[in-house]
Structure 1
Amino acid sequence: MADRMYDVCIIGAGMWGSAAAYHTCLVPDTKVCLIGPEEPTSSQEFNSRAIHGAYYDEVRVTRTNMGSVICSELSKRSHEGFDKLEKNTGISFYTECNNVNFGPVKSQYITDCKRTSELLQTEHVLLTGDQLTQKFPYLNMALTLGSNIECILQLSKCGLVNPRKLVAAQKTAADLHGCDIFNTTVDQITEKYHTPSVGKILEVVTEDGQIIRSRKVLICTGVFTLSKPLLPSHLLPDMKLVPTQTLRIELSKENVDNMRDMPSICSFTREDNQRDGYICPPVIYPDGKTYLKIGHGRLRYLKSEEVAEWYRSDGDPEVTEKLMGMMKRFFPGLIPISTHTDTCAVTVTRTDMPYVDMVTPEIGVAIGDNGGGAKFCYEIGRMAAKMIAKGCWDYDLPAREFEVRFKEPKQ
């Protein structure tokens, strides 16, 4: 397969790359390949990896009442595609679940969420902290946060996504539509000129020595975008790499039974209106145990060369202590069977919006999740697919909202 000429080569086989591969395969007369390593199957393989995926997990929150109307619309469109994707692949990855956003009364973020809910006609109710505690007695919302909070309980178009299964479904859908999938990483992209009738060809060189030729390349490599020479040195996206950390709390059967109606919870009590924490309801993990997941702590920025080491680490003890404190405040009296920390990383763009843009006539990017990649990855993949297939913007939302910003060149 490596000698085959492709119309589009997609680098990065995570949530965004696999979605883009599937949607690009739907473009008529387009030969597509997807390059990216599968999740490691052993701790030895995991610890030897230089590239990891943000989808190595069992649960992410998806909702459509965010502060940004555009991001909420993207999440809504992704949600509308889940059922078809599950039916076409036979892989179930989505579970309906209510969601709660809360923050100070009349805060900007909660005001924006109300507006978004109304604009997108999302079914929701407004509650005080006391009312939420009455509805979900195991949640200590009022005592934890005081009376000066308001909550938006979203009742539709929200739920939980299993990112592992979502990626599997998107890759399966791409494969069913003729996508060639290479389980490897990319070392570099080089430009080669051929005859005028063929035009410029890109050569994608993989870690295992394969050379894959393509007319266009779409880069969907998340926090690892700057780890390899994938883009011209003067066209490096301006985005910060942020380490994140979650706490998994093993629950007893009694705890699980008591929390069966639990919504996902997102806290926005910071003055800058950024999320300061979230809680996922109980989910069964591959080890057969049921965990409550609390996230995520952020302390600092990472350099590109530090990302893989962070993935392999046990996290930061200070963040673990903070997350344990959240557990004790929201679930007083809860005694975990065990606790575990998991690490990940997100990209934060200068605009707080995803970068979906052509950086050269032949190379496009779909990067910059800003901590919300799972919510709208399916639709970001469709957006990016339309763009890379045409070589320019081809979507009904304004291109300027997704325009990539570049780092200032060093003097």
Structure 2
Amino acid sequence: MERFDFIVIGGGMMGAPCARYLAEAGHSVALVAAPEPAPGGAGPFASHHDAARIARALASDPDWARLGARSMARYADIEARSGERIFRRSGGVLAGLRAGPLAGFTKRFLAVASGMDPAPAVAEGDAGGWTLPEGSVAACEPGGGWIDPRAMARAQVRLAEAAGAQVFPQAAIARAGRDVTLADGTRLSAGHVIVASGPHAASDGFLPRRPAMTVWARTVAFVEVDETEAERLADLSTLIWVPGETWTHDLYALPPVRYPDGRWRLKVGGQGASGPRIEDAADMAAWFHGPGDPEVGAALLAELRRALPGLREAATSTGPCAVVWTETGFPYVDAAGPGVTVLAGGNGAAAKCGDELGRLGMLRATGAELAGEGYRATFEARWA
């Protein structure tokens, strides 16, 4: 049985950078990073198996803004050292309404924007190439854009390996104390285990107790466009917006992105606290083997068309996604028991700031407190 200082279960947005920071600090590290399943495969599935996620420092909460800003400040270094192209700067728009159920959301992100240096420009009405609902106010972040989460994960794994981490490209199937068994029967042992298994953390049994988190099955919708339309929309920003005064949740949209199959697609998503929940691996597999919810997809496409009138569509489609909401609204970066740390719970906003969350996970796993890191949030876990 091979022994390490640390075993990190999960090679995604939080786990891979955590392993990298541990290895760069001189620890011996085993990173258990299951590969992305083939279409129709058995999993494990992960939300970073995607081509584009919004990257922004601006948020409606100062801690999320700080997590994003610190991570984004490191993108260039990660790209230079890994050789991966991760970030595309397109500008980002965060828009809301001054009236209605989400008026407080608008007030909060404007307050955060006013404290940024440089402060994003604030515009009434349309912004970033998008047509917004009447009464909208938008904060425009020139340094925003989007990341390729697959490329980010590859980069973090590559840098972890360069720093001495040993990567095991398969799934973990069991943990007993500080020993971990892999799918091929390999057994690893460590002084400490970090569980960064994303939406699976509440049900995979790697933690000694169940974290209080909800895993929601979500639907995203895509509009495929041809090369000419993609070129016409090349200056389009990313967007988070509130479609109307009666809405109780926001939506997000990305400009045209070239997907691995070579086709250009815009993506739109966003749902409130409703819809099916994912309780275990069987639920996850069933959801990710399907197309999502076509009715939700149709509603998302309708809002995208309102925000981008004149869009020349070649085809549309829907797909499955999953989001983890914690009871605190922040990721759990905390001790789960003797020799075990939990690093999970993205709340739909963690892809862009995974590097900083991985660093915090490294600190917590090595016994450091997070109180001096400049956050109001404690990142303490709550347990079911």
TM-score, normalised with respect to structure 2: 0.93
Q: Is the counterpart of residue 225 in structure 1 residue 216 in structure 2?
A: no
What's the counterpart of residue 241 of structure 2? 267
Q: Is the counterpart of residue 155 in structure 1 residue 142 in structure 2?
A: yes
Distance 1:394 1:185, change over 3 A: farther
Correspondence for 1:48 among 20, 41, 53: 41
One-letter code of the match for 2:112? T
Partner SS, residue 214 of structure 2: strand
**Residues of 2 paired with 1:13 and 1:341: CA distance?**
26
Q: Which runs of 5+ in 2 are unaligned?
A: none
Offset at residue 140 of structure 1 (A): 2.9
CA contact (8 A) 2:90 2:146 kept: yes
CA contact (8 A) 2:202 2:212 kept: no
Correspondence for 2:10 among 3, 7, 12: 12
Offset at residue 317 of structure 1 (A): 1.5
One-letter code of the match for 2:159? A
CA contact (8 A) 1:78 1:379 kept: yes
Partner SS, residue 340 of structure 1: strand
Summarize the alignment of residues 103-142 of structure 1 with structure 2, pairs less than 5 Å apart. 103-105=96-98, 107-129=103-125, 131-132=126-127, 136=129, 139-141=130-132
What's the counterpart of residue 306 of structure 1? 283
**Residues of 1 paired with 2:159 and 2:264: CA distance?**
29
Q: CA RMSD in A?
A: 2.0
**Residues of 2 paired with 1:274 and 1:32: CA distance?**
43
Partner SS, residue 16 of structure 2: helix
| Regions of 4+ moved over 4 Å | 269-275, 391-395
Offset at residue 391 of structure 1 (A): 6.3
Q: Which runs of 5+ in 1 are unaligned?
A: 192-201
One-letter code of the match for 1:329? R
**Residues of 1 paired with 2:226 and 2:232: CA distance?**
10
What's the counterpart of residue 93 of structure 2? 100
Distance 1:63 1:13, change over 3 A: same
Correspondence for 1:71 among 44, 64, 67: 64
Correspondence for 2:21 among 20, 23, 26: 23
Higher Rg of the two aligned structures: 1
**Residues of 1 paired with 2:79 and 2:231: CA distance?**
27
**Residues of 2 paired with 1:289 and 1:311: CA distance?**
21
Partner SS, residue 402 of structure 1: coil
What's the counterpart of residue 185 of structure 2? 209
My pick for the range that moved more, 89-98 or 300-309, is 300-309
One-letter code of the match for 1:125? A
Distance 1:324 1:271, change over 3 A: closer
What's the counterpart of residue 264 of structure 2? 290
What's the counterpart of residue 35 of structure 2? 38
TM-score, normalised with respect to structure 1: 0.87
What's the counterpart of residue 194 of structure 1? none
One-letter code of the match for 1:96? R
Partner SS, residue 7 of structure 2: strand
**Residues of 2 paired with 1:31 and 1:395: CA distance?**
26
Summarize the alignment of residues 218-367 of structure 1 with structure 2, pairs less than 5 Å apart. 218-232=194-208, 235-268=209-242, 275-297=249-271, 299-304=275-280, 305-367=282-344
Q: Please list the CA deviations of residues 86-112 of structure 1 after superposition, one character each: whole Å capped at 9, or x if unmatched.
A: 111111111112111111126211221
**Residues of 1 paired with 2:204 and 2:59: CA distance?**
33
CA contact (8 A) 2:224 2:313 kept: yes
